[in-house]
Structure 1
Amino acid sequence: AHYDAISETPWEYTPGADDNASGVAGVMEAARILSDQDLKHTVKFVLFGGEELGLFGSKYYVNQVADAETEDMILGVLNLDMMAYEGNGIPEVDIHCHPWLEESAEQAEMLTDIIDVYGLDLIADIHTKDATTRSDHASFWPELIPAMLLIEDYFGGDSTPFYHTTDDRISTLDTDYLTEGVKISVVWTATMAQSDAFNPAIMENPYPDEVILFKLTTHQTDAIVWMNIKTPYRITPAVYNMAGQKVKVFTPVSPSVTRQRIRLDLSGLGAGVYWIGVPGTPVEKFVLIR
């Protein structure tokens, strides 16, 4: 969430209750609830500045992540922005996810599942091709990090009429509606933090170092991957998604003392970021575009 606000008199009075004290409150409440939980993975509760001026805070944060080459360690991002205005009696929320990154769409579907499972008083509308880039989640997309925006019915005609004005006050907000939005974000965060994340540096290694992956080349138009492998063992290449799940297992490769060029068909996979490899070798990251 971003903690800066703007109005027609930004240097004098800018209450910013919906945009975006509501999102900040959601992040702080999620942090309070989850802070004493024993989770498998690190959860970062981040508040950005400079969103209203051009996503400056989140862009800087993502640049630091990219410079440290740790973007692959981020399983997902949920950005809370404008969470508390509901004016027509229909508790709709918009979920904006990456236009083609499959992991992002899957995580958006997870949010809708949470609404159903927990019986929350919300109606979700997922946006992909028409997803907005006007909030901090969009800063993560160039690095192919699954990031989503959870926001009130901003594009459906029921967003705050006090947007960027001095009338954006707490008296205009629906706190029950905000509470439901915070609930979904807390459950999603806890679910992601308990998932079996994929660490490319840790793979089961039943083979000695003789298993060598020489080169990986992709042809995105026909979804074909070529691997050059030399191994005295019968091995089985596999593809993993960002959650560490095997999403495709190929025909075992027969032993050979010379290099073999293996053709792997990825046509059954959707667009997204994947890793491919065999036990005992470094995995290779690739991006599949549809």
Structure 2
Amino acid sequence: MTYYRLINLTAVVLFSILFSAQIIPQQQVYDKIRAMSDSISLSNLDHHIRVLERAGGHYSRVTLTAGNDSGRQYISNTLRAIPGLAVTEDTFYISNAPSPYNTKPIINVIADIPGTNPNGGYYILGAHYDCSASRMGSTVWNQQYLTIRAPGADDNATGVAGLIEMARVLSDTSFGFRPEYSIKLVAFAAEESSPGYTGSHLGSKDYATRAFNRGDVIHGMISLDMVGYNNTNYYTAVVSNQQSQLLGEKMIEARDLFNIDILMNQPPFVNATYSDHDQFWAKGYKAILVIENAPPWNNGPYYTANPLYHTSYDSAGSVNLELVKRVTQLNLVTLSSFASRLTDVDDTEVAEKNIELYSNYPNPFKDVTRIRYAVGAGMKPDGVNNRYSARVVIKVYDVLGKEAATLLDEEMEPGTYQVEFNGAGLASGIYYYRIQQGAEVKTRKMVLVR
């Protein structure tokens, strides 16, 4: 009897040591991302916005202009000056532009943060560096687009400044952060339409098309576009299609996990195509847009419509720098969490399975975490009234197998659901949550951190 008790105790101890040790790497990843977020520099963001606004003295980054070239050169040179950061450029041409502009190189600038899994795919954050003054009136814009003042401070020097600052932080080896999946930061050209050519979102279209043709595995894309106009609230909005909703939901949860003090819209998010994210949708990739309001020409509960974008008056003086900083922090912690698999955004739809259990978020968590689960179409009708339903049970256990909580025990119809788990009163450590429907059982791990 003593022998078997000893074996049992040894197994429990080994089990506890094995799984408790896993809390350390996850906590370390969280701490590194938090430190990176805290290091985002307001003065750096301000500097980038003002340099891009001046555009080498041209005060315009309209596509096909010298100011656009100056802005792109500043972005490329600044990124290349960051130690250890690999920077490349992709060139394309706007064939329907008038001669000689149809042979002018149009360039996307790409910075690469390599992951530990080079064949595992990557995440993208993109921001377009061109601008527009189309709201100065159609006659003026059509006749003067190559010479008109178009500083584009909010739209979209704010997004590019955030991209450059994220590149600096993600490349800083002193944080010790290394994502599993690679991260690509892309300054896109020719997002805006122009009298000089047909079409828009041309830089992102070129990139997404090349990526699709190469067979690139892109887990998700974030477009950062005009994020600094709001003098009354710290607020930003997510735009998403149905396929990409989870990216936006987990951005909100990353905000909560890392305590980024910013208001956001809630799902279901607005589905719209007014930035570079739509070109990734066109190729079947998940993508979201982060923008100051959806849309920025309308008022909202926390936003007054922006009268300055696409005009000659979109200057740095109208930008809320603290808002830009918080949006940059939000995107940094979201992107880093995705790429390091602090959270998992590769959830799949339930097809013929009875149940599916997804990764909880946030994970690790401090107090409350959300658990998504699905009851699938594989269930059989009850034979009486043809209702597809089954009893579903979700419970939480500690590492010793002791039940910590029952989160659900009821009849459920097919669909995707969410339940919250509050760890108040429980000790830090690893816990397991298990879903059961009939004989089918699935289990996942989560980490409670105090």
TM value normalised by structure 2: 0.43
Separation of aligned partners in 2, 1:43 and 1:268: 36
1:84 is aligned to 228
2:156 is aligned to 20
Separation of aligned partners in 2, 1:121 and 1:240: 27
User: Residue 90 of structure 1: SS of its match in structure 2?
Assistant: coil
Residue identity in the other structure for 2:333: V
Matched, 1:34 2:170: yes
Asked whether the 8 Å contact 2:270–2:294 carries over to 1, the reply is: no
Matched, 1:130 2:130: no
Alignment of 1:223-234 (within 5 A): none
Alignment of 1:155-234 (within 5 A): 155=295, 157=299, 158-195=304-341
Identify unmatched segments of 5+ residues in structure 1. Answer: 200-219, 226-237, 252-266, 271-290
User: Residue 76 of structure 1: SS of its match in structure 2?
Assistant: strand
Q: Deviations over 1:111-168 (max 9, x none)?
A: 1112222332211114656322010011111222110101102435124210100100
RMSD: 3.2
Q: Which has the higher helix share?
A: 2
| Match for residue 61 of structure 1 among 195, 207, 217 | 207
User: Residue 282 of structure 2: SS of its match in structure 1?
Assistant: helix
Separation of aligned partners in 1, 2:238 and 2:157: 19
Q: Deviations over 1:197-230 (max 9, x none)?
A: 799xxxxxxxxxxxxxxxxxxxx9x9559xxxxx
Separation of aligned partners in 1, 2:279 and 2:323: 27
Deviating beyond 4 angstroms after TM superposition, the runs of 4 or more aligned structure 1 residues are 196-199, 222-225, 238-241, 246-249, 267-270
Asked whether the 8 Å contact 1:2–1:24 carries over to 2, the reply is: yes
User: Residue 75 of structure 1: SS of its match in structure 2?
Assistant: strand
Following TM superposition, by how much is the alpha carbon of 1:187 offset from its aligned partner in structure 2, in angstroms?
0.3
2:291 is aligned to 151
User: Residue 186 of structure 1: SS of its match in structure 2?
Assistant: helix
Q: Cα distance 1:190–1:130, how it changes in 2: closer, same or farther (>3 A)?
A: closer
Separation of aligned partners in 1, 2:237 and 2:374: 29
TM value normalised by structure 1: 0.65
Q: Cα distance 1:137–1:177, how it changes in 2: closer, same or farther (>3 A)?
A: same
Separation of aligned partners in 2, 1:240 and 1:59: 32
Asked whether the 8 Å contact 1:5–1:52 carries over to 2, the reply is: yes
Separation of aligned partners in 1, 2:191 and 2:170: 26
Asked whether the 8 Å contact 1:97–1:127 carries over to 2, the reply is: no
User: Residue 290 of structure 2: SS of its match in structure 1?
Assistant: strand
Higher relative contact order (CA 8 A, sep 6+): 1
Q: Cα distance 1:22–1:129, how it changes in 2: closer, same or farther (>3 A)?
A: closer
Q: Cα distance 1:171–1:198, how it changes in 2: closer, same or farther (>3 A)?
A: closer
Identity percentage of aligned residues: 28
Asked whether the 8 Å contact 2:258–2:333 carries over to 1, the reply is: no
Asked whether the 8 Å contact 1:96–1:126 carries over to 2, the reply is: no
User: Residue 46 of structure 1: SS of its match in structure 2?
Assistant: strand
Separation of aligned partners in 2, 1:38 and 1:268: 39
Identify unmatched segments of 5+ residues in structure 2. Answer: 1-126, 137-143, 194-199, 360-372, 379-412, 417-450
Residue identity in the other structure for 1:57: G
Q: Cα distance 1:144–1:20, how it changes in 2: closer, same or farther (>3 A)?
A: same
Matched, 1:4 2:144: no
Asked whether the 8 Å contact 1:85–1:159 carries over to 2, the reply is: no
Q: Which one is further off, 187-196 or 153-162?
A: 153-162
User: Residue 110 of structure 1: SS of its match in structure 2?
Assistant: helix
User: Residue 143 of structure 1: SS of its match in structure 2?
Assistant: coil
